[in-house]
Amino acid sequence: MAALAVLYVHFVASRQPHFQSDFDQIWYGARALRLGQDPYSVIGPGREWGDWPWPLYYPLPALLPALPLSYLDVITARAIFASVSAGCFTFLVSRNGYSHLAALLSASLLFAVSFVQFAPLLACAAMSPAFGWVVSCKPNMGLAVLSTARSNKWLAVSVALSVALVLGSFALQPTWPMRWLEAIRGGEHFTPYALRPGGALLLLALMRWRRPEARWLAALSVMPGTPGVQEALILFTVPQSLRSILLLAIGTHFANFWVRPLDQFSTWMDYVNTGAMALLAFVYLPSLIAILRRPNEGEAPEWLEVAMLRIGAGLARARSRLASS
């Protein structure tokens, strides 16, 4: 899969010389950082490096893993990042059984490789705490990934690696949080799914809170972010039947097809809103139904088990008081 990702990235670059991947902003930002410049000042509409239609939305920790790649040309850097991400995802997901390699057929992975995104690495963080550092690269999606931690130790390792990357970013540019918050403050497309029609239903996944995929789906529903089919890659990381994986993969293709071609949309917000509803209809609500049909069994951190027991006991006492009053 890693080799295919390299070939695909180079193929796209040869066919579309002016194509810009999501990783390009990170590469430009890492290069600016290495040269002693403020990435948030030189990247954005009408600014010095790459006339982007939007500012640098990534926090500074996202640029640190790309610092070594900033010495290479952007196409080679894209290919390396995409191949390593896809390769790690393929290896980890195969540990659930070779049937899980059907996830490679999903639009989620294809989209993530095409636009060279963090999604495969975030999915890796849901399968191994060694990838916990990725949480700080995309905090909104990263916090949702933390909800999939199987134990207190898993959670602690992930948080520690993420904090280490954040501390490294402060050493390079202490004021970056203010610059980053200033950049994302004007983002109109960061509406959580819970505030979209039907999106609040995803919170019902908490009825199966012991399952990592249920916790992730509920957490995703309240996280602000740009809807994208690549984020659904997390749903492929848990053990499930081949039939479930194939149905999920087909759903991602339906959601992706629904927003094609892009020129059917008059504005960026039209595309974002349509994409969000397509993901709810074809991926997330069907996944919710599948999750609710499964037993409330799985690996959950010890603190969560204790918290849910206390909540259950509190609700039982409240019912008793109401019954006796």
Helix (H, G, I), strand (E, B) or coil at 50: coil
Q: What integer pLDDT is reported at residue 304 of this predicted model?
A: 86
| Low-confidence spans in the chain with pLDDT less than 70 | 2, 8, 10, 13, 50-51, 186-189, 325
Amino acid at position 296, single letter: N
Integer CA distances (angstroms), 137 to 19, 125, 164, 202, 226, in order: 23, 12, 12, 25, 15
- Residue 56's nearest CA partner among 147, 235, 155, 181 is 181
Backbone φ/ψ region at 296: left (φ over 0), alpha (ψ -120 to 50), beta: beta
To which residue do tokens 């991602």 refer?
A: 252
Integer CA distances (angstroms), 303 to 7, 67, 163, 299, 307, in order: 45, 36, 20, 12, 6
Q: What integer pLDDT is reported at residue 69 of this predicted model?
A: 96
Extents of the domains making up the chain: 2-324
CB 268 within 8 Å of CB 189: yes
CB 212 within 8 Å of CB 297: no
Tens-place pLDDT, residues 177-222: 999 998 888 666 678 999 999 999 999 999 999 999 999 999 999 9
To which residue do tokens 């980890």 refer?
A: 92
Q: What integer pLDDT is reported at residue 186 of this predicted model?
A: 66
Computed from CA positions of residues 38, 43, 46, 51, in that sequence, does the dihedral angle turn out positive or negative?
A: positive
